[in-house]
Amino acid sequence: MSNAIFYHAGCPVCLGAEQLLVNALDHAKYQLEVVHLGEQPTRINEADAAGVKSVPAVVIDGQVFHINFGAALADLKS
């Protein structure tokens, strides 16, 4: 079982991407953790270190995939 961490900020674009992952991810292979960076700002640095530049994004097996564009990570820091 691998981890998939989905970072978002509650934006409409984020919700669409979250729905995609909840519906389409193979849950037999991946455990999905959903992190709302607005509610958990202490995890912004973790997302940054993983290579997340904008949300929504999902980190799977150490690889970052930005899905569409909701907000820049830099804008969540301020």
Closest CA to 30 of 52, 14, 6, 46: 6
Q: Does 24 bind its own copies (CB under 8 A)?
A: yes
CA distances from 55 to 11, 28, 33 (A): 9, 25, 15
Query: Least distance to its own copies from the beta carbon of 26, Å?
Result: 4
Among 11, 20, 34, 50, binds its own copies (CB under 8 A): 20
Of residues 49 through 78, those in contact with its own copies by CB under 8 A are 60, 63-69
Count CB neighbours of 22 within 10 A. 12
Tell me which residues touch its own copies (CB under 8 A).
Answer: 4, 16-17, 20, 23-30, 60, 63-69
